[in-house]
Structure 1
């Protein structure tokens, strides 16, 4: 009897876990960074809405357009600071044309707040380094409150 030919030995799955980890780990890290970026944008968006509301309310309580613009900018800056939001840049635009409406008629003040959120620290390839969030809010100027055009 001749001995049976030897079958080639398969060496098993040695090293396959390392290859799987090398493929999956960067994907998990990228997913985590995306989740953090989405969360940061969602939170900052809500806080930009609150800052716009605070700024519009502060502007509507003033008696002049110039005072309304100043009060809106201060209120937006204070609102972001109180909420712990760090904007790379902030822009507050005030439409205070409601102050030109005669006393006895309702006027409106509209404030638009822009906050640029920095995302560069997340190191996401292909992701923008920052994102600008915009929020607008309108507040009523009291119809019977004395006001001036300037």
Structure 2
């Protein structure tokens, strides 16, 4: 029995428990980091969607105030691009589609103008280096019922 040392049972448990906690930390840490990264990416995508939606709404409002369909298209496009630029989004391409069919409806009847705004974002801007994603939203605004339309 010389050279053999007995470890008390309470110390053995403590040593094993510490090993289990470090193993759990090694397993759970990557999961928690991935979860945090997903929350960051989702929140950045939500902010981009909100900015594009606000831009579409502002563009539709600007188009509804125009006197003709041609002016409405020009106003909506410029307002949408200006709003996206001021929101801080770095769109690789902005597409603005303006539905001016409401201008063909005779005065005195309800009509509206619809605007669709699409922004192509690099996913690296959202936190993922995977390519591009298109964020598209629509907006609509009523045309003045009693104003002449061209």
Both proteins in one fold, TM over 0.5: yes
TM-score, structure 2 as length reference: 0.76
Query: Hey, which of these two has a bigger chunk of helix by percent?
Result: 2
**Count of residue pairs brought into register by the alignment:** 142
**Alpha-carbon spacing, 1:77–1:44, altered in 2? closer, same or farther (3 Å):** same
Q: Does 1:37 align with 2:41?
A: yes
Structure 2 residue aligned with 1:114: 118
Q: More deviation in 95-104 or 76-85?
A: 76-85
Q: Does 1:84 align with 2:88?
A: yes
TM-score, structure 1 as length reference: 0.76
- Using the TM superposition, give the Cα deviation of residue 93 of structure 1 relative to its aligned residue in structure 2, in angstroms: 0.7
How does 1:1-150 map onto structure 2 within 5 Å? 3=1, 6=4, 23-120=27-124, 122-123=127-128, 128-148=130-150
Show structure 2 runs of 5+ residues with no match.
none
Structure 1, residues 13-63: CA drift from partner, whole Å, max 9, x if none?
A: 799888766655544443332222111111111111111110000011111
- Using the TM superposition, give the Cα deviation of residue 84 of structure 1 relative to its aligned residue in structure 2, in angstroms: 2.0
**Alpha-carbon spacing, 1:72–1:89, altered in 2? closer, same or farther (3 Å):** same
- Using the TM superposition, give the Cα deviation of residue 120 of structure 1 relative to its aligned residue in structure 2, in angstroms: 2.5
- State the secondary structure of the residue aligned to 1:139: strand
The 4+ residue runs of structure 1 with deviation greater than 3 A are 3-10, 12-29
**Alpha-carbon spacing, 1:123–1:72, altered in 2? closer, same or farther (3 Å):** closer
Question: For residues 26 and 66 of structure 1, what CA distance do their matches in structure 2 show?
Answer: 55
Show structure 1 runs of 5+ residues with no match.
none
When the two chains are superposed, the root-mean-square deviation of aligned CA atoms in Å is: 3.0
